[in-house]
Amino acid sequence: MRALAILGAAVLAAAAPARAEDWSSWERALAGWSFETPDGARATLADFRGRVVVVNFWASWCKPCKKELKHLDEWNALLGGDDVRLVAVSVDHDARRMARFVETEGITLPIVHDGPQGLAKTLQIPSLPCTVVIDRDGRVVRVVDRAIESAEAARELIDGLVGPAIPGGSG
Amino acid sequence: MSARSAAILAMLALAAATAGCATVAPFERERLADPIMSFREDSREAAQELHWMEAREGSTGGAGAAGGGCACN
């Protein structure tokens, strides 16, 4: 009976999710992630240190992602200043399918094609779409594992994060 | 153990080893999300019929899983 209780406790401990606020492995992976910007240059998210960064994972085969991307695009067009960077990461196998959707819908926010074996796999994102909000210090502060349903809801992602720049930030 | 029992046991073990479920990560479901993966022969037509039915009955999300297999609500 005692052995059964110990076994039960061990199973429960193994099944328990990691602390929700412990995103350190994500932060390391995100900081080191290198991608090609729409104008063909190489960049990393660490280059955006000092700004709030919103990373959205989506795919052209995912209907809620496509609806969400339009809301994010709308929000991105309203973003003023240099405080916030929005990066939409496509996990499509085929970049041409992604490009076709972006062109058809007239999406203007920065899109990066990374495929299903890239950052999404490294992070093991829990859903698609998935949106990660990174603060000025490179810390993951929010992970949204459902579709964002309006531009207003997208704006609320950065509530309390955008304000005066932290002294010493790269700006 | 008789040879017959051993054979049955071996077959059961083989069946258990070769069958099973695989977990597919949400970002790897591109092929699964394709309407062609539907059991119905006329899957694209079925999707359209479902859309009409949902609009008519006000029952969006009432049939099957939402989101085309991408693990979103």
* pLDDT tens for each residue of A118-146: 999 999 999 999 999 999 999 999 999 99
In one-letter notation, the amino acid at residue B48 is: Q
Please give the pLDDT value at position A168. 43
Q: How would residue A18 be classed by pLDDT, with cut points 50, 70 and 90?
A: very low
**Residue from the list A63, A128, A146 with its beta carbon closest to the beta carbon of B27:** A128
Establish whether this prediction's ipTM goes over 0.85: no
> Does A66 touch chain B if contact means CB atoms closer than 8 Å?
no
Please give the pLDDT value at position A86. 92
Short-list A79, A74, A61, CA closest to A162 = A79
> Does B67 touch chain A if contact means CB atoms closer than 8 Å?
yes
For the stretch A87-124, pLDDT in tens is 999 999 999 999 999 999 999 999 999 999 999 999 99
Question: H or E element: which one contains A82?
Answer: none
**Residue from the list B30, B67, B68 with its beta carbon closest to the beta carbon of A116:** B30
A80, two tokens: 């003023």
- Higher per-residue pLDDT: B59 or A136: A136
| Shortest distance, CA A164 to any CA of chain B (angstroms) | 35
Q: Which residues of A touch B68 (CB under 8 A)?
A: 61-63
pLDDT score of B72 more than 90: no
Q: How many residues does chain A have?
A: 171
For the stretch A22-58, pLDDT in tens is 899 999 999 999 988 777 888 898 888 899 999 999 9
pLDDT score of A171 more than 60: no
CB contact under 8 A, B72 and A93: no
> Does A58 touch chain B if contact means CB atoms closer than 8 Å?
no
User: Are A56 and A144 contacting, i.e. CB atoms less than 8 angstroms apart?
Assistant: no
> Does B29 touch chain A if contact means CB atoms closer than 8 Å?
yes
Single pTM value for the model: 0.72
CB contact under 8 A, B33 and A62: yes
Q: Which residues of A touch B51 (CB under 8 A)?
A: none
At residue A42, φ and ψ (nearest 5 deg) are: -90, 140
Q: Which of residues 114-143 of A touch B (CB under 8 A)?
A: 116, 120-121, 124-130
User: Are A117 and A37 contacting, i.e. CB atoms less than 8 angstroms apart?
Assistant: no
CB contact under 8 A, A57 and B28: no
Question: H or E element: which one contains A75?
Answer: helix A63-78
B40, two tokens: 């119905």
The C-alpha atoms of residue A124 and residue B25 are separated, in whole angstroms, by: 8
> Does B24 touch chain A if contact means CB atoms closer than 8 Å?
no
